[in-house]
Amino acid sequence: MAYIGPEPNPGQNREVDDISSSFNGSTTAFTLQVNSQNVSPGSSNNIIVSLGGVVQNPSTDFTINSSTITFSTAPASGLSFFGLVLGQQVDIQSVADSASIVSPTLSAPTVTGDLSIADKIIHTGDTNTAIRFPAADTITAETGGSERVRVGSSGVVEVNSPSLSTDAKLIVKGNDTNNHDIITAYANSSTRGSFAIRTGSGISPSFLIGTRGGSETFAFMTNGTERVRVTDNGLTFNGDTAAANALDDYEEGTWTPTAHGYTGSNTANNCFYTKIGRLVIATFRITWPSLTNSSSAEIRGLPFTARAQAVNTHGGAFSETNDNDNLHLIVQQNTTTMFILRCTSSGVDTQTISEVSGKDFRGNVIYFTDS
């Protein structure tokens, strides 16, 4: 039958090993042993103690805590000691319901020593929720009968039973469905929060991803310095949050130039553009059809409208053409059109459709947009 309470000392009285060699006039606590094995009298009333031939008063001259005796006054060096642990009678009563022997009900028990558990602690009325010790140096938490958290001998914390080999100290497996967060971090009553990696005990993070400041922005930091922030205006860099300096667009694609509105040839797979913020870089090839017209020759169809400004300043150059003239490009402001210019020592003039008829042009143009 199980026994609940301080371990009893049944049987005959036992003389305690002499501890007088440790008396020095300052030490008050000593370990009680019988034949070099720790012994617990159970209470100060279960042991007779004599110092210098004088029997000590239990609970007044000394107290007992497990196998430790503590004197109210430190014994002087050279003082003799005698101790006798008294044998105890154990009263055991039968329990009517045998089930209560296996599963006793205790109201707010206090356990002062180690509590040994074979496998698990189960929640009353919810038997599929438990804290388990399934293997050596391992503890797990279960809900709904499934393991949710595991801490193993290496100190790695695993959440939701991931099957992953890594040196990380925290491994989290998300749900096997779309649109489910793996980790959600927030502070106070708002949704702001961050993930930070800090070196040493310093406050400033060496690396941080998270929302920063009083507005809903998303920032990246390294070595305690903000590098990139995502705001309503786009990307800002190195702590500069001015809207005018934000990068709000990036795009790559193809475009199809036309010869003054007419279809040219050799444009397929030859015309590309990249837009970074308000900057547009476009490359092209177009062979003009045979046309006769005195109007200014225009290459039309730029992928974005040029910035509106007082005069035309953006332009480009031909990397190759079978026209012998010194030709250049200029973008007409607030349009998607380029003029073909001839630049000589005498000045600049716009080429006509007739002058570029049948010519092949390959080149690039750089210009800005308003947004």
Question: Is the alpha carbon torsion for 355, 357, 359, 363 positive or negative?
Answer: positive
Place of tokens 């006509």: 352
Structure confidence at residue 356 (pLDDT): 93
Q: Which of 115, 125, 122 is nearest to 141 (CA)?
A: 122
Check whether 154 has a pLDDT greater than 50.
yes
Q: Which of 103-107, 190-194, 218-222, 354-358 has the highest mean pLDDT?
A: 354-358
Q: Which of 354, 363, 302 is nearest to 329 (CA)?
A: 363
Structure confidence at residue 331 (pLDDT): 97
Spans of all domains in the chain: 1-106, 115-172, 194-245, 252-368
Alpha-carbon torsion angle 306, 307, 311, 314, nearest 10: -50
Q: For residue 273, what is the enclosing H or E element?
A: strand 272-276
- Which CATH code fits 252-368? 2.60.40
CB 28 within 8 A of CB 74: yes
Check whether 336 has a pLDDT greater than 70.
yes
Q: Which of 190-204, 245-259, 317-331 has the highest mean pLDDT?
A: 245-259
Q: What is the pLDDT of residues 339-371, one digit of tens each?
A: 999 988 888 999 999 999 999 999 999 999 998
Query: How confident is the prediction for the chain on average, in pLDDT?
Result: 84
The contacts of residue 133 (CB under 8 Å, 6+ apart) are: 117, 119, 120, 139, 140
3 state SS of 22: helix
Check whether 40 has a pLDDT greater than 80.
yes
21 backbone dihedrals φ, ψ, rounded to 5°: -65, -15
Question: Which is more confidently placed, 321 or 307?
Answer: 307
**pTM for the full predicted model:** 0.52
